């Protein structure tokens, strides 16, 4: 075996007619290259051999993203551990504690995106019986090449027992730092922790379509990616439908609809209309919207945090750079307080 690589059989001894699985484990010290490996099976009656080829490529991307090697290759802060409750495999990262903890806990890894770019994704399961005002899970991705930071997972507090996923598009060959975080306010009766698993980089997505698809929501939420609580409303700025982001019932955290698109070659002006239904204050509940330029890695806040209940539709706009790829995210935040659920209607997303 090449240096840094080990081999194991499961099971190591078999009877005639049975089979065994060979696993080759390659760590970061194994030099890239192609290695012939001879597999030998021995018995009193005979010995047989077969040759297989092991190809080791240069390290690029996430290491130990499934946490099957514990927290190896990750930098920990606060309270972290390895959990046996996993999205896949046998292990996940437990960030935060089953006992009350004061402040942030995290695991982080710095990596280089593949030369062809790609999509970073991970799965998370939040155990939070408080509200997002005090306890939460969140995740950030810093592009060390450009110095910009993106929130991949907005502050979330839930206790559904479900695994959810989040993702972000990577720029080819850029250096990134992914930080998976959990925050607990140290209150005795509601410790919060988050399980993270299956951090991976997939193939880059196909080029996005030019312009906005279904910007009037007349085809429901087709063409949009939803998170949190979303629905189609018959209260519209024009036509018969709009996107209802958030809920008429209390909801903990962010809800959103998002779409990735390419600006026309000549550029243009992106605009949309919104109507906020918010009877709380902007300290706790709000509507907001962001536009990420995927070509440059920069994010612009198109709609600053807003809480109002006037029943009036308002609009906002932004000038696009021709040919750039963008991701528009239309957001509503609710603090789960019983008497003032918040939601926002969005409609008529267009490029002129």
Write down the pLDDT at residue 58: 46
Write down the pLDDT at residue 207: 65
Write down the pLDDT at residue 313: 98
Q: For 262-280, how does the pLDDT look when each residue is reduced to its tens digit (9 = 90+)?
A: 999 999 999 999 999 999 9
Separation CA 169–CA 260 (nearest Å): 10
Nearest by Cα to 129 from 81, 189, 179, 74:
189
CB atoms within 10 A of CB 121: 17
Separation CA 336–CA 342 (nearest Å): 9
- Put the strands of the sheet holding 325-335 in their side by side order: 225-227, 252-262, 325-335, 286-293, 298-306
Separation CA 286–CA 281 (nearest Å): 8
Length of the chain: 352
CB 125 within 8 A of CB 163: yes
CB 125 within 8 A of CB 195: yes
The list of the chain residues with pLDDT below 70 reads 27-33, 56-60, 205-209
Nearest by Cα to 144 from 116, 181, 170, 124:
170
Separation CA 293–CA 289 (nearest Å): 13
Write down the pLDDT at residue 117: 87
Residue 150 pairs in a beta bridge with 141
Write down the pLDDT at residue 3: 81
Write down the pLDDT at residue 250: 95
Separation CA 321–CA 271 (nearest Å): 14
DSSP 228: S
**Structural domains present in the chain:** 5-56 (no CATH), 75-202 (2.60.120.260), 225-351 (2.60.120.260)
Nearest by Cα to 245 from 235, 236, 257, 253:
257
Write down the pLDDT at residue 249: 96
Nearest by Cα to 339 from 226, 258, 244, 250:
250
Write down the pLDDT at residue 51: 86
Sort 53 into a burial class: Cβ within 10 Å, 0-12 / 13-18 / 19+: exposed
CB 346 within 8 A of CB 246: no
CB atoms within 10 A of CB 2: 16
């Amino acid at each position: 075996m090449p240096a840094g690589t080990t081999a194991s059989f499961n099971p190591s001894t078999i009877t005639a007619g049975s089979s065994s699985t060979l696993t080759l484990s390659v760590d970061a010290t194994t030099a890239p290259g192609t290695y012939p490996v001879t597999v030998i099976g021995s018995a009193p009656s005979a010995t047989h051999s077969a040759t297989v080829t092991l190809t080791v490529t240069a390290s690029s991307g996430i290491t130990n993203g499934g946490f099957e090697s514990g927290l190896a290759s990750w930098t920990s802060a606060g309270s972290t551990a390895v959990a046996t409750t996993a999205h896949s495999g046998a292990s996940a990262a437990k960030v935060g504690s089953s006992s009350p903890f004061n402040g942030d806990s995290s695991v982080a890894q710095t990596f280089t995106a593949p030369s062809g770019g790609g999509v970073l994704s991970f799965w998370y399961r939040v155990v939070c019986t408080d509200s997002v005002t005090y306890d939460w899970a969140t995740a950030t991705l810093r592009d060390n090449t450009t110095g910009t930071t993106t929130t991949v997972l907005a502050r979330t507090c839930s206790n559904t027992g479900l695994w959810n996923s989040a993702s972000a598009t990577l720029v080819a060959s850029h250096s990134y730092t992914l930080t998976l975080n959990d925050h607990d306010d140290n209150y005795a009766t509601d410790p919060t922790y988050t399980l993270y698993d299956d951090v991976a980089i997939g193939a880059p997505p196909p080029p996005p379509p030019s312009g906005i698809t279904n910007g009037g929501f007349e085809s429901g939420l087709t063409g949009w990616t939803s998170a949190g609580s979303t629905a189609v409303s018959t209260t519209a700025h024009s036509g018969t439908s709009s996107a209802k982001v958030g809920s008429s019932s209390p909801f903990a955290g962010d809800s959103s609809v998002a779409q990735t698109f390419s600006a026309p070659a000549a550029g243009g002006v992106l605009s949309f209309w919104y109507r906020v239904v918010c009877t709380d204050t902007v300290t706790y509940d709000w509507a907001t919207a962001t536009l990420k330029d995927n070509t440059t890695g920069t994010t612009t806040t198109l709609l600053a945090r807003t809480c109002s209940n006037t029943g009036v539709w308002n609009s906002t706009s932004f000038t696009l750079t021709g040919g750039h790829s963008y991701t528009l995210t239309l957001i509503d935040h609710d603090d789960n307080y019983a008497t003032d659920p918040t939601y926002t209607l969005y409609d008529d997303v267009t490029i002129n």
